[in-house]
Chain A
C-alpha cells in the first residue's frame, strides 16, 4: 500500500531501491551515504526487502561487484560519496563502456583536502566524462522517484547506461521532507524485471556482444547519451502519468514567463531559490529559475531552445574546476552549448555553497540581482564570482 510520511533523503533512496526490486546491493559505508545502506540493511532484516546485500571491503570492490552482478543478469543498486566515489574511479569507467544499467546514488560531499562532510558537487561531477547519466535531486520525494526513473532509463535497450542519482549530503540525505512511497504492485506494473538483451553469463544461455573496437564502443556510448535526452523526458512524462509526480525531465523551468534573466541551480539549493524568485517576482523583478536536473547528458538542445529568451543566465556552480576555460563546470558546459547561437545571453557565474556551507536567501538574491544587472549591461563584472567572499550581512 502507498503511504506518505516524513522521510530523510537516504531513507527515501532505500525505499527507491526496494521498490525497484534491486537484486544485488554491493556497498561500503561512507558519510553521508551511510544511512542509506543501513536503511537497506533494516529493510532486509525486517523482511520488507529481498536483495543480496554484499558488505564489501571498499568502494573499488563495490563497483566491481556491481559490474559482475549486472552482467550476470541482476538489477544492481549501490551508493557512495566523496572520497568513496574517488576510490571507485577505476571501476566507474567500466559500466558505461560495457553498457551495464547500474544505478548508484551519489550522496554529494566535498572532496579532500579540507573538505568537510558536507556537500558540494565535485564528487559526482567528476564522473561527467565517463559515460554515466547524472541526475540531481532536490528533496526526498525526488530521490525516490528519480531512482525508479533511473532504472527505466538505464535499462532501455537503446540506452543501456549506468545512472548516478545525485543529491546533497545532509541538506537532502538527512533532512526529512514529506515523501510518498508508492504501492509496490503499481511500481512492478511500471518497471518490468531486468533483462539485458546483450548479455547472459549463465552457462546454459550464455551470450556476449561481439567485441567492438575502442572507437566503436566510445561512439556507442556517445550515441546512447544523445538518445537518452529524449528517453529521460519521455520516462518523466510517463512516470507523472502513473504516479502523479514529474520533474521536467532534463530541466525544470520555474517562474520563467517574461523573465529577462534566469538563475540555473542544482540540487537542494533549488528549493530556497524558488522562494527567493517568488519574492523577487512579487517585487517586480523579472528573474526566473532553471533547475538543472540532468547534468549528463547535458541538455544542450533544450538550453539552445530557451536561451534566446533571456539577456543573461546566472549559473550557480556548487563545484570548482580549477584552471578551467572560465568558471565552474556547469558554466563552461553551458557556454559551449550556446556558443553557436547568433543571439545568446551573457553568462554570469557564481561559486557558492562550497564544502556544504548553506546557500542562503541573501546569497540567492545577490546572485539574481547581479544576473539582472548583467542582463541590462550586456556584460558580467567578472568571469566567476566567489559569493561567499562577500559580506552579505549574515553569519555564514
Chain B
C-alpha cells in the first residue's frame, strides 16, 4: 500500500532517500543528522572520503573539487559571503580522514590559523576507503588495510587536539551513535563566529570488516571503550561529554575483522594508550587546556 507518511518523511529530509554509499556507511547517517541541525540556509563545500557519495545526495548547495582541496574553496566562499554581506548563511567545509590528516592537513591548519568563519568537519572512516581501503594518517594502530596488510605500525594523528592548539573558538568530537550530543555540538558550532572543528569517526563496514547491520553498535562501542571519546574544547576549556565507565577495548577491536591479527600484547598496548588518553582527558576536564 502506498504510504504517504513515508513520502512526507523523505521530503522533509535534506538528504535524498537513496545514496550510492555502501550498506551501513556512516556518511549518509551523519549528513542526515547534521543537516537536520544545520538547516537549509547552509552551503557545504568539500569532498569526503566515500562520504562524497553521501554529499552527492544532499539537497542544499554543495560545491566540491577533489580531496586535495579541503577548507580552501570554503575560504573563498567565506570571503564571497563577506563581500556580499551575507552573514546569515552557515558555511560547512567537509573532508575525509585522508584529506584532513594527510594531503590537505596544511589547508585545515591554515584555515584554523586564519580563523576562517566555517565549520570544518572531518568525516573519519579511518582509511582511504574510496580507493579501496588504503592506510591514512587517521588509520588506527594495528588496523589492516590493503597497504598495511600486517597491521598499521604507527599511531593515529590526534587531529582534534592539533586543531585545538591553533586556539580556534570551538573543537568537538561527535558520533552518529550519540545523535543528541552530535546535534548539540553542531548547534553550538553554528552559533559561534570563526573556525569550528568537528571530528566524527563514522563506521565503514566494508573497510573495517563487520556486518553492516551492526554499524551503529560498533560505532557506539568505539565511544564506550574510550577509543573515540566524546569531548569538546570551547575557548580553550576542555569538557568531557561522556564519562561512563570504559568498556575493555577488546570489545571494540574484536567486533571488526581489520583488527583480527592483533596479538594479546598489541591489544594490551592499545588498552594502555586508551587508558592514558582517558586519564588525561578526565584529569583536565573543565580545565583550560589551551592558553
Contact = CB atoms under 8 A, between A and B. Distances in A.
A68 B73 contact: yes
A320 to B, nearest CB: 29
A61 B107 contact: yes
A57 B83 contact: no
Given A67-B73, A72-B76, A201-B61, 8 more contacts: A57-B113, A66-B76, A69-B80, A73-B84, A91-B65, A201-B63, A202-B89, A206-B60
B268 interface: no
A52 B73 contact: no
Interface stretch (B40-48, B205-213, B281-289): B40-48
A55 interface: yes
Contacts of B61: 201-203, 206
Interface of B: 40-43, 45, 60-61, 63, 65-66, 68-69, 72-77, 79-84, 86, 89, 106-107, 109-110, 113-114
B45 A203 contact: no
Given A57-B110, A203-B42, A64 B72 contact: yes
A64 B63 contact: no
A56 B71 CA distance: 11
A233 B63 CA distance: 34
A76 B114 CA distance: 19
Interface in A15-71: 23-24, 26, 51-52, 54-58, 60-61, 64-71
Nearest to A204: B41
Residue from A51, A66, A203 having most chain B Cβ neighbours under 10 A: A203
28 contacts: A23-B79, A23-B84, A24-B83, A52-B79, A52-B80, A54-B114, A56-B110, A57-B106, A60-B72, A61-B75, A61-B110, A64-B72, A65-B79, A67-B65, A68-B63, A69-B77, A69-B83, A71-B63, A71-B77, A72-B84, A74-B79, A74-B83, A91-B69, A94-B65, A201-B43, A201-B80, A204-B41, A206-B60
A202 B43 CA distance: 7
A73 B80 contact: yes
B88 to A, nearest CB: 9
A90 interface: yes
Contact of A72 (B60, B77, B109): B77
Nearest to B74: A68
B107 A68 contact: no
A64 B45 CA distance: 11
B89 A69 contact: no
Interface in A54-104: 54-58, 60-61, 64-74, 76, 90-91, 94
Contacts of A65: 72-73, 75-76, 79
Contact of B83 (A23, A60, A68, A201): A23
Contacts of B83: 23-24, 51-52, 69, 74
Contacts of A66: 76
Contacts of A90: 66, 68
A68 B81 CA distance: 11
B73 A203 contact: no
Nearest to A67: B73
Given A26-B79, A91-B65, A203-B42, A56 B84 contact: no
Interface of A: 23-24, 26, 51-52, 54-58, 60-61, 64-74, 76, 90-91, 94, 201-204, 206
B60 A70 contact: no
Contacts of B72: 56, 60-61, 64-65, 68
A55 B115 CA distance: 12
A26 B81 CA distance: 14
A90 B69 CA distance: 10
A54 B76 contact: yes
Nearest to B86: A202
B65 A55 contact: no
Contacts of B69: 64, 91
A95 to B, nearest CB: 11
A42 B79 CA distance: 19
A69 B76 contact: yes
A30 B212 CA distance: 50
Nearest to A25: B79
Contacts of A54: 75-76, 79, 114
A24 B65 contact: no
A10 to B, nearest CB: 22
A206 B43 CA distance: 10
Among B42, B69, B75, chain A packs the most CB atoms within 10 A around the CB of: B75
B148 to A, nearest CB: 27
Contacts of B75: 26, 54, 56, 61, 64-65, 68
Contacts of A26: 75-76, 79
Nearest to A53: B79
Contacts of B42: 203
Contacts of B43: 72, 201-203
Contact of A68 (B80, B89, B110): B80
A72 B74 CA distance: 10
Nearest to A52: B79
A139 B63 CA distance: 38
A67 B76 contact: yes
A64 B41 contact: no
A61 B65 CA distance: 12
Nearest to B65: A94
Contacts of B84: 23, 72-74, 202
Contact of A76 (B41, B45, B76, B81): B76
